[in-house]
A and B are shown apart, each in its own frame.
Chain A
Amino acid sequence: MLVDPSLSSINRSSGAGDPHRGGPSSVNVARNFAGANADCSALPAVRTVGLGKRYGDFEALADLDLTIPRGEVFGLLGPNGAGKTTLIRTLLGFIHRTSGHAEVMGIDPAIDSVAVRRQVSYLPGDARLPRHMRGHSVLKFFADIQPEGDLDHSLAIAERLELDLRRMVSFMSTGMRQKLAIAAVIGSRAPLLILDEPTANLDPTVRSRVLEMVMAAKNDGRTVIFSSHVLSEIEEVCDSVVLLRRGRLAHRQSLSDLKARHRIVARGSLGDANRATGSMIVPDSIAAFVPSVQCDEATGRVTIETSGDLAPVLPWLASLGLSEIRVEAFGLRAVYDAVHFDEVPAL
């Protein structure tokens, strides 16, 4: 979890700094929050401190500290009801936070959500478009209304997605409507893209094209917040990912770190030297590369987790006398399962 030290002085007691509760103090806190760095382009794309949203007794978001650097593709992951959409909708000013603070592109959405949305292009999880309009009119509408809108870019995306823009929205299939919404949203040149399950209802070919567009947006220097349940997509496009659980930030993971991790599963035994300690002894020279070793004597199954380059580990592995060795990439699934089942991932 990344927390900007400059934010630590903010009063995080519930409601004290909530601009929506009014009062001069709340405005001052919000100004201090943004004023720490006058150059907005140097600020992270999104920054939250102790962000919370409560509906009666239900905490949809709680004490969320989050920083999303600019120029990243940032994944939001979590089971249904984890708070992903609530977080996005709070950042856009659709719902009002009950505690904490947030900034999007250096602007507090509780103070000026319109200015925030000027910098953001947002694709909702269930994008619904005006049914009385034709595809082309929808793209023109969004290009006209959004200052960063670019009709030509949207049309090019629509063509790439093989979308028939002469058709009325009401006569489009769910997938076609999703493609139209993607063309409208990704077509905008806004510096921050927020995509909530963008590939839902799409066929595999279009999915991969959408992921390519996300990467292209990143290459253009735009920031992308990518919320999805499809772990492989997050692994494919994201630089880092946070896992939310019951409204709280459960884990943050850099994908480059994760890609360097492997799980080696093999058949074997502890051996006499290791049996006394109940675990395998990892030489000090490679201890940093092997964070976890588990051995089930009953089944003869050995699980070794590695971190970083595999090359230094391989000679030691060969010396263990293991058989049926299988090397697996340590995917996001393992992290997700660990968080979901309330285990602390060994990262």
Chain B
Amino acid sequence: MINRVLVRTYIGQAALLWSACALALFAFAWVRVWVSSLVDMGQFRTILEQFRDFERFAPIGFDALFTHTGRVGMTFDEPIVILCTVVWCIARGSDVVSGELGRGTLEMLLAQPISRTRLLLSHAFVAVSGLAFLTLSLWAGIAVGIARTTITETVPPPSFRLPFTAFEIPLTTGGPTQESFPMSSVVDPWVFGTGVFALFAFGFFILGLSTFFSSLDRYRWRTVGAVMTVYVLQLVIFGLGKAAERLNWLRGWSFFNCYRPQKQIAEITSGGMSAPWRLTGPDAESWFGPGVYPLMLIVGGILFYALAIAIFRRRDLPAPL
């Protein structure tokens, strides 16, 4: 299915980009967890409450964010995380055919006894493994961040609220006290496994899409342009679907609708560790369980890969320019 010599070469080709993205994701996740501990939960709630009118644009309801787990889970929707993942996927996916054709190296490569399918699968093996390890490096960053971070929270003095009034009567004469505790005591890093899988599925879909366009084309810049066009269009469709109630149906036409890491993490809080992997909805109204959405992205990615193989096998390879 794959060729080990090719795999070794592709690893060499992609090592620098992978290292940069992995380092960025690991460091960002760690710093992100630490930064989230700097903002007091009370202050965070106050800030967020001011934006209640715009809650529908958020990937998840605000109430789910008033926990440390929820705040760390926001990492999966951070632009830097999405950017690193997308850069890896488009860079590697677009390289396989149109990149090699553009550089003229495909001629020498395919002069060797390797089938086109094997070449594409060897490339896919490196790209998908790289994506998996990238998402794992994000998870590692989160885990290290959780293990190394101490949360300091302001605890108000005990008080008594008068019934039917807004008055609070302090029960002690002392002021608010500060309490410190390790983040690992309130946040379990295993909870984010579902978010990591969602990010992987999202990346896999883009990887498949890029590979599909690459198999059609002979110029890498055009492949990247085509993938970015689809990406932006899908993002706009998703944004429109969220912006207006009557355009809600548009969300179903965007693959971004299937990327729901924060919702899946929130499912764990309410339904336990197995809740985000459920394939059926809890009631008759919601057919799909949260586990269906990443699977849709995975299936989409596989379909794009299958199309890419079919096209690449049949097409005439243009001579190097």
Contact = CB atoms under 8 A, between A and B. Distances in A.
> Do the two chains belong together in a single complex?
yes
Interface of A: 85, 89, 92, 94-96, 113-115, 117-118, 120-122, 124-133, 141-142, 144-147, 181, 184
B107 interface: yes
Contact of A95 (B104, B105, B114, B317): B317
A133 B12 contact: yes
Interface string B158-201: 00000000000000000000000000000000000000000000
A119 to B, nearest CB: 9
Given A128-B103, A128-B104, A145 B13 contact: no
28 contacts: A89-B317, A92-B110, A94-B316, A95-B317, A96-B316, A114-B113, A114-B115, A117-B112, A117-B113, A122-B108, A124-B108, A126-B107, A126-B319, A127-B107, A128-B104, A128-B105, A128-B108, A129-B108, A130-B9, A130-B105, A132-B12, A133-B9, A141-B5, A142-B112, A145-B5, A145-B114, A146-B113, A184-B108
B269 interface: no
A85 B316 CA distance: 13
A115 B6 CA distance: 18
A124 to B, nearest CB: 5
A83 B115 CA distance: 25
Nearest to A115: B113
Contacts of B1: none
Q: Which 10 A-B pairs have the closest CB atoms?
A: A128-B104, A122-B111, A118-B113, A95-B316, A117-B113, A145-B5, A124-B107, A144-B5, A94-B317, A145-B112
Given A95-B317, A117-B112, A141-B5, 12 more contacts: A120-B111, A124-B319, A126-B104, A126-B320, A128-B104, A129-B105, A130-B105, A132-B13, A133-B9, A142-B108, A147-B113, A184-B108
B67 interface: no
B3 interface: yes
B103 A131 contact: yes
Contacts of B114: 114, 117, 145
Contacts of A121: 111
B3 A145 contact: yes
Contacts of A125: 319
Nearest to A116: B113
A129 B202 CA distance: 33
Contacts of A85: 319
Given A89-B319, A96-B316, A124 B111 contact: yes
Nearest to A113: B115
Nearest to B118: A114
A181 B320 CA distance: 15
A94 B103 CA distance: 16
Nearest to B9: A141
Contacts of A133: 9, 12
Interface in B27-85: none
